[in-house]
A and B are shown apart, each in its own frame.
Chain A
C-alpha cells in the first residue's frame, strides 16, 4: 500500500526561525512533490524531486531515497509563509499523487 506520512501536523514559529517539515513514504513512490496551500487558495507546486536537493529562494527540499524520507526547509521564515504544506508521493506508472495529511504552519511576527 502506498502511504505518505507527514510531521508535524501543526507548527508555530517566530519570524526568522528555521523551519523543517518531514515526510516519509512507502515503497512504490518514485518522486515527491511539495505543495503549498494558503487558506481559501489553490495549491501551488513548490518542488518535485526524485533525488538530491532543490532550492528556490528561502525554500530547500531534500530527499533520501534509501531512507524514503524527504524534508522541506524554510530559512528566515516570514508571516507570509503561513500556509498548509503538503507532501505528495508520485507513482511512476500513472503519476497519481498520494497526499500526506498536510502541515499547518503559522509564522508569527
Chain B
C-alpha cells in the first residue's frame, strides 16, 4: 500500500515569494492534515480536512496561508507571501476518518525562506 506522498521534498525561496506544497494521502483516507514543524519543536496543526471540507483551520495564518482539497483526495498548501519565520518542515498526514484513528505521515517538505 502506498504511503502519503508529498512534493517537493525541499524548497528554498526568498521572503515575499510564494510557494506551494502538494500532498496525496493514502487511498481511501477521508481525513487529511497539514502540520508545520519548526526546528526543535513538535508539529503544529495548520488545517484538517474531512473529504473536501475544512474541519479545523483555527491555527492557519489565513492572511498568508491557504489550503484546498477540492476533490477530497489530494491537497495543496500555499504560502503567499512567505516570511522568514515560515521556515519549517510541512508535514501532511492522513487517516481513514476523523476521531481517534491512526495518522500516517508523509516525508514532509523542508522549506527554507531566505
Contacts and interface: CB of A to CB of B under 8 A. Distances in A.
Given A42-B91, A43-B43, A100-B42, A93 B103 contact: no
Contacts of A102: 42
Interface residues of A, number: 24
Contact of B42 (A42, A86, A92): A86
Interface size class of B (residues with CB under 8 A): 20 to 34
Interface in A30-80: 30-31, 33, 35, 41-45, 48, 50
Given A96-B45, A100-B42, A31 B106 contact: no
B100 A50 contact: yes
Contacts of A94: 48, 55-56, 98-99
A95 B98 contact: yes
A22 interface: no
B56 A45 contact: no
Interface string B95-114: 10111111111111000000
A79 B95 CA distance: 31
Contacts of B48: 94-96
Contact of A45 (B91, B98, B105, B108): B105
A88 B103 CA distance: 11
Nearest to B42: A99
A86 B42 CA distance: 8
Contacts of A43: 43, 91, 93, 105, 108
Contacts of B104: 45
Contact of A101 (B41, B55, B101): B41
28 contacts: A31-B100, A42-B107, A43-B43, A43-B108, A44-B105, A45-B103, A45-B104, A45-B105, A48-B100, A48-B102, A86-B42, A86-B43, A90-B100, A92-B99, A93-B98, A93-B99, A94-B48, A94-B56, A95-B48, A95-B98, A95-B99, A95-B101, A97-B33, A97-B43, A97-B45, A97-B103, A99-B43, A102-B42
